[in-house]
Amino acid sequence: MTAISDPVAKVLRGSVDLHCHSGPSPFPRRMDHVEAAQDAQERLDMRAIVVKSHHHNTVMDVLAMAPRLRQLRTQVFGGIALNSFTGGLNPHAVRMSLRMGGKVVWFPTMSSGRHIECHREGDGFPTETVPLTCDRIDILDAAGELRPEVDEILDVVAESGALLSGGHMYPDLIRRLFEAARAKGIRRLIVNHPNFVIGAEPEQCLEYVRLGAHIEHEVGMYDPEGHMKWDPKLLLDWIERIGPEHTVISSDLGQAGNPKPVDAYLRVCGALLDLGLPERELQRMTRDNPAALLGLD
């Protein structure tokens, strides 16, 4: 086991990052998945990380890197984001990803109407290393009903027990998706960074919680050495309003030009402890809740 002397690192030992943006990716990345897992193991003895790409099914990355990953205790899992790059609402791609070991399905992120509205020219995101095209993906048909493909995808998620993310969609569409997921018996639901892109208010997030969802916040947005530098007091306010039992803390890091995920965890979680957050509640949000959402326990 890794020897850890930093007091914040000791609290974070065994944590799980559900939102790591290591590479490969068309966006410039600071590290690949193996390097991210090595850093997580050596410095926090992390239990697992989930590697996310807006552009492709990361399960294939994990399988290709398996010979290097087998040497590590920190587990690495992948999943698929339903953007136009992967065929949008593509049940066949979801089925393959989950049956080959995927743990997460993110509904449209960059292809969602909400994301496109917020980032019309790609501003706020890295410049891609190759020219790409991105189409809008909607989960509702012309009559305002969930498209048949959504229903089929939810069946695949229910079959596998995977974690379902609302992606970057409008708050009301996330609610519609989660209501349908709940009706199919899906119990692992998550909302990523509700106060970034998505624009969901705490009251709306409490509606998601009543449907069984967890609300995820990312240390990358609150790190003073990151691009956004939000005040950790804002994060603490969200935790207090939603409750640590319904909250997950992840990184959303790995991009070139941003801090390493572990560095941001240490700084932001240390700030939360300094603000009076109990250690046990921090462990619940960084270790217990994400492990349960991945079905590790």
- Alpha-carbon separation of residue 124 from 12, 100, 115, 116, 127 (angstroms): 30, 33, 11, 11, 9
Nearest by Cα to 220 from 191, 189, 193, 247: 193
Cα–Cα distance between 62 and 78 in angstroms, integer? 7
Residue 52 within any structural domain of the chain: yes
284 within domain boundaries: yes
Cβ atoms of 83 and 134 closer than 8 Å: yes
In a domain, 2, yes or no: no
* Contacts of 128 by beta carbon, 8 Å cutoff, 6+ apart: 26, 27, 122
Structure tokens at 182: 């709940």
Alpha carbon 15 to its chain centroid, in Å, reads 14
The reported pLDDT for the residue numbered 119 is 85
Average pLDDT over residues 183-205: 98
CATH code of the domain covering residue 178 = 3.20.20.140
Contacts of 157-161 with CB under 8 Å at 24 or more apart are 157/94, 157/98, 157/105, 157/181, 157/184, 157/186, 158/184, 158/185, 158/186, 159/98, 160/98, 160/99, 160/102, 161/188, 161/295
Residue 26: domain span: 7-293
Residue 129: its H or E element: none
Confidence of residue 99 (pLDDT cuts 50, 70, 90): very high
With a cut of 80, say whether residue 125 has pLDDT above it.
Answer: no
Assess contact for 76 and 64: CB atoms under 8 A: no
Q: pLDDT tens digit string along 219-261?
A: 999 999 999 999 999 999 999 999 999 999 999 999 999 999 9
pLDDT in tens, 140-182: 999 999 999 999 999 999 999 999 999 999 999 999 999 999 9
In a domain, 1, yes or no: no
The pLDDT, as a whole number, for residue 120 is 75
The enclosing H or E element of 125 equals: none
Residue 38 placed within a domain: yes
Total of domains in the chain: 1
| 175 in a structural domain | yes
Position 126 confidence tier, pLDDT thresholds 50, 70, 90:
confident
